[in-house]
Structure 1
Amino acid sequence: MITTRDIAERIGVSVSTVGRALADDPRISEETKGRVRQAASELGYVGNRAARMMRGASSNVVALVIPDIRNSFYSTIAHELSKNMEAEGFQLMLSETDDDRMAELRHLRELSANRVAGVIIVPTARPHSESVKLLRAVPHLQLLRKHPSLGSQWFGVDDHEALRRATAHLVAQGHTRIAYLGGPEELPTGAERLRGFRTALREGGLPDDAGRTELGPPSSVQHGREAVRRLLEAPDAPSALVSGSIQLTLGILEELSRQGVKVPGELSVVGFGDEPGFSWWGPGLTTVGLPIQEMATGCALWLLRRLKTKPSNDGPYTSVSPGSLILRGSTAPPGGRGPSKSA
């Protein structure tokens, strides 16, 4: 392995001079720094970051802690964050919790031991008390979900309004039996999306029993499949349904295709998220669009500023981005045969 001594011997300076040059010490001239860096590059020198961290240097690693990388929302966020971080000399590290609070804790312990510069986290429903303590010691912000124990820096979507608009679209078309498939109420996103669904029913003058809910793991495609089967087998099967997560939407579409359900002739569907295939699935899926790039850029800029300025105290910061309703051909009035023009 190439060491600083090898570089020193290559250009005829002391080992301490090489170390200071690589650390951009102002006591070393720019000419010497240039010679050291060129020699380091030619020899293939890789700095020992662990040793520098033991001397108090900070890491250049930012962690993204998410429930499920298979969810395209999170994978796209990771891609955008990685580009933003790399442009400023930071590296993104990914940790996946599967919405397990103990897995979340294990990841945070490891990240803390490696002195990551910052953390962007989509928290589980009930973070462990030790997870809360670990995050207090590192610059961090919450993404999409907001748990009060983890501070007041949060970037999210207006989940209530997104699902209210999606459901109101179906109500305006004349649907009176509408089902909602979403995550559990213990998740803040699940609670807000369910509230938006119920708000639209109430504003549309529909009784409480006009809406049926199927709540379960939001990252489970299987839950989406099984919920659709239960809904279609019920004697009071809905004429429309709206989804509250990307993975549930995938399960819904798979099961509807498997059963040969005509959309929107037999059932109107509003999805969540806008996967590349949603625009050409069946008649084209009407769905809730998510401001992924806007959120990723906002998260990156906030955290980079925090890492560079190192304020003594972080004040509350909240950024709420609106979703959008993308109208395609999967919704129509009950018994309708084509896409509706209703907004």
Structure 2
Amino acid sequence: MITTRDIAERLGISVSTVGRALSDDARISEETKFRVRQAASEMGYVGNRAARMMRGASSNVVALVIPDIRNSFYSTIAHELSKNMEAEGFQLMLSETDDDRMVELRHLRELSANRVAGIIIVPTARPHSESVKLLKAVPHLQLLRRHPLLGAQWFGVDDREALRQATAHLVAQGHTHIAYLGGPVELPTGAERLEGFRTALREGGLTEDAGTTELGPPASVEHGRQAVRRLLEGRKAPTALALGSIQLTRGVLEELSERGVKVPEALSVVGFGDEPGFSWWGPGLTTIGLPIQEMATGCALWLMRRLKTTPGNDGPYTSVSPGSLVLRGSTAPPDGRSPSRSR
């Protein structure tokens, strides 16, 4: 393995001069820095980052802590963040918690021990008290979900307005029995989306009896399938569905396809998120588009600025991006037929 001593012997200079040149020390001339870097590249030298971290330096790694990489929102935002970070000389590291606060804690312990430069986190519903302490010691921000104990820096979507628009669209078409499938209210996103659904019913002059709710794990495709199965096989099947997560949307679409339910003739559907396949599923899925690129760019720019400023100089910061209702062919006025009998 090539060391700084090997480079020093080749160039006939001291080991300390090589070290300073590689760390861009102002005391070393640009000519010497160029010679050292050229020799290092030719000889295949790889810097010992662990040694530098032991001397108190942080890494150039930024961690993204998310519940589930299978969710296209998280995988797409990870891709966008990675590109933004790379442009600034940082590397993105991914940690997956499966919405388990103890897994979240283990990841945060390891990230802290490795002195990551910063953390972008989609927190669990009830982060462990040690997780809160660990995050306070490193530059971080919350993405999509916001927990009051984890700081005042947050980038999210206007979840309430997104579901209000989706449900209002169905109400405007004349639906009076609408079901909402979403995540648990313990998650701030789940609570906001449910409130948006109920707000649209009230604004449309409908009672709460007009809306049926099925709440469960937002990352579960199977929950989406089971929930829509229960709704279609119930005594009074809804004429429209408003969905509150990408994975639930996948499950619902799979179940409807297998059952041969005619959309929108027998059942209108508004999904959540806009995966590439949603545009050509059935008649094309009307859905809530999410501002993924805007959020990723905003997160990256804020964190890069934070890493370049003196700790403690950053105040509270909130960025709320609007979703957008993407209209396609999966919604229509109700015709009174039962979707459970439509094959």
Q: TM-score range by the shorter chain?
A: over 0.9
Secondary structure at the aligned position of 1:274 is classed as coil
How far, CA to CA, are the matches of 2:112 and 2:83 in structure 1? 23
Alignment check: 8 A CA contact 1:264 1:336 kept = no
Alignment-derived partner of residue 315 in structure 1: 315
How far, CA to CA, are the matches of 1:312 and 1:198 in structure 2? 40
How far, CA to CA, are the matches of 1:310 and 1:234 in structure 2? 59
Alignment-derived partner of residue 116 in structure 2: 116
* Partner deviation per Cα, 1:313-332 (whole Å, 9 max, x = no partner): 43110000000000000000
* Partner deviation per Cα, 1:190-238 (whole Å, 9 max, x = no partner): 0000000000001111111110000000000000000010000001110
How far, CA to CA, are the matches of 2:76 and 2:252 in structure 1? 22
Alignment-derived partner of residue 100 in structure 1: 100
TM-score, length basis structure 2? 0.97
How far, CA to CA, are the matches of 1:309 and 1:46 in structure 2? 28
Secondary structure at the aligned position of 2:308 is classed as helix
The offset of 1:57, in angstroms, is 1.4
The offset of 1:73, in angstroms, is 0.4
Secondary structure at the aligned position of 1:145 is classed as coil
Indicate yes or no: 2:48 matched with 1:48: yes
- Listed as ranges, the matches of 1:16-27 within 5 Å are 16-27=16-27
AA paired with 1:221?
V
- Listed as ranges, the matches of 1:258-277 within 5 Å are 258-277=258-277
How far, CA to CA, are the matches of 2:44 and 2:82 in structure 1? 25
Indicate yes or no: 2:61 matched with 1:61: yes
CA 1:223–1:231 in structure 2 vs 1: closer, same or farther (change >3 Å)?
A: same
Secondary structure at the aligned position of 1:106 is classed as helix
Secondary structure at the aligned position of 1:40 is classed as helix
AA paired with 1:137?
A
Cα RMSD (Å): 1.0
Indicate yes or no: 2:135 matched with 1:135: yes
AA paired with 2:199?
T
Name segments (4+ residues, structure 1) moved above 6 Å.
Answer: none
Alignment check: 8 A CA contact 1:261 1:267 kept = yes
How far, CA to CA, are the matches of 1:56 and 1:284 in structure 2? 54
AA paired with 1:112?
S
TM-score, length basis structure 1? 0.97
* Partner deviation per Cα, 1:160-198 (whole Å, 9 max, x = no partner): 000000000000000000000000000000000000000
How far, CA to CA, are the matches of 2:281 and 2:58 in structure 1? 48
How far, CA to CA, are the matches of 1:116 and 1:312 in structure 2? 18
Secondary structure at the aligned position of 2:25 is classed as coil
How far, CA to CA, are the matches of 1:316 and 1:11 in structure 2? 50
Alignment-derived partner of residue 302 in structure 1: 302
Alignment check: 8 A CA contact 1:265 1:336 kept = no
* Partner deviation per Cα, 1:114-145 (whole Å, 9 max, x = no partner): 00000000000000000000000000000000
How far, CA to CA, are the matches of 2:312 and 2:328 in structure 1? 49
- Listed as ranges, the matches of 1:1-343 within 5 Å are 1-335=1-335
Comparing 52-61 with 63-72, greater Cα deviation is found at 52-61
How far, CA to CA, are the matches of 1:336 and 1:20 in structure 2? 77
* Partner deviation per Cα, 1:227-277 (whole Å, 9 max, x = no partner): 010000001110000110000000000000000000001100000000001
The offset of 1:336, in angstroms, is 8.6
How far, CA to CA, are the matches of 1:278 and 1:166 in structure 2? 16
Count of equivalent residues: 337
Structure 1 runs not aligned, ≥5 long: 338-343
Secondary structure at the aligned position of 1:334 is classed as coil
Structure 2 runs not aligned, ≥5 long: 338-343
Secondary structure at the aligned position of 1:120 is classed as strand
